[in-house]
Chains A and B, each alone.
Chain A
């Protein structure tokens, strides 16, 4: 087993450490589950008799949540919000990725558009909304358009980066085997850029969410954001909380769906990364 005394003490010490680690695992698991549950319970019971105007009892919030969103206002407010968000995000991704591929492949086109892209992307996304409101009013189509435009930039830029960073040897291999331009695009550039594209798409997701909510709060009659702000303005604190909780859940779900899609699409990438870091 071991030879010199030094190695044997190391073996003993690492074995002891492993044993300690193993015995800690159930406690850690208990913490993972227990702490959130405890926090929720603490909030529930702690706020049961609250008369604080800003922090009503959790029980009342839950009741209001159910009253509003399930399913009274579901069709009239929740669905439109989600619908606008998803539609705008998909448009942003479609345009961002296509344009990103174009700009990544064509140096002259990139040079022409880059200064503009760099400037517009530095503008805080929500600040573009007043321009839309002032010039085009705020119908639904305009809102979707505004959200899409604001969220294009992260995915656009990361697509450009991903396309440009495609491993040159892969492209030479494609040339050796005489793949056509379209085949190169579909089979090499896009898969090679996909980790970057996903990274940008995640940021675009978050931007789209923020802009969607802001656009509703800025002057809309319908939508979760609109209702929530309305509630806040009329001191309907429980309604406001119900809105906040719903928005939080939606934000979490959007992220979750994205992560799951990413895990499927980038399975090869995640595996390769794990293999690389294992050295």
Chain B
């Protein structure tokens, strides 16, 4: 049942800053099976967003490889959708919520009825059916993020990649959206990869957690989360194993933390 969908091997990424090379990511190797939920956690500034951009083909990989369904990633793959951290700037201000969510579907050339249905369903699952004709600037930050998520959902990617999607949403909404992730995975078999600062969230949602550490970044450890399913906000979080896993990950992150200094490239 589990077939590997995403394979990352010895991925490294360097930037050129003022002519010198700065290595952000040293060597990452992990894989993601279809239908898995994988969280990527690590200290601030370690390069999680850079990793996501490499995996979604928005930036090039310096060395190593990343493959999706066997094909190398050298441009945004059709099977992936990315929800950005800076959601306010990723929504088109001249389009209503409904048109924003519809945007990726135009390109897919779906029959209108199917596109309509997808948009309606996506907005309903993030709880924004009322906001169809509003403009992004009329919505709060959390609502805008939900529109960005709905947009990705309407696209029905095989792999949904999210960069701190729930960071600026209130706690109640966050729990709802976390459960939404679980529901999407169960209903559509979508693989989900998300970067998060919230360790509790990573433990609650994931099948595995990839912990990044050190500079340049490497995989400190991949932690298996074998909490029972279906997960539940109250009972799962109250479990003994939950707290242990959370502690383990927290300590891993702390061990791999970077000193707070600017890095000189060579």
**Interface, chain A (partner B; CB < 8 A):** 167, 169-170, 172-173, 175-180, 183, 187-188, 191-192, 194, 268-269, 271-272, 275-276
Contact = CB atoms under 8 A, between A and B. Distances in A.
B75 to A, nearest CB: 8
Contacts of A169: 84, 86, 89-90
A85 to B, nearest CB: 30
Contacts, number: 59
Given A175-B58, A175-B75, A268-B135, 13 more contacts: A169-B84, A172-B58, A173-B84, A176-B76, A177-B76, A177-B103, A177-B155, A178-B107, A183-B107, A188-B92, A268-B93, A268-B95, A271-B137
B137 A177 contact: no
A272 B58 contact: no
Q: Which of B56, B106, B137 gathers the greatest number of chain A CB atoms within 10 Å?
A: B137
A177 B138 contact: no
18 contacts: A175-B57, A175-B75, A175-B76, A176-B81, A176-B82, A177-B103, A177-B104, A183-B107, A187-B106, A191-B92, A192-B94, A194-B94, A269-B93, A269-B94, A272-B135, A272-B137, A275-B137, A276-B137
B135 A271 contact: yes
B135 A176 contact: no
Interface in B102-155: 103-104, 106-107, 135, 137-138, 155
B50 to A, nearest CB: 13
Interface of B: 56-58, 75-76, 78, 80-82, 84, 86, 89-90, 92-95, 103-104, 106-107, 135, 137-138, 155
Contact of A178 (B76, B89, B137): B76
A191 B94 contact: yes
Contacts of A179: 107
Contacts of A167: 89
A187 B90 CA distance: 13
Contacts of A180: 107
Contacts of B76: 175-178
Contacts of B56: 176
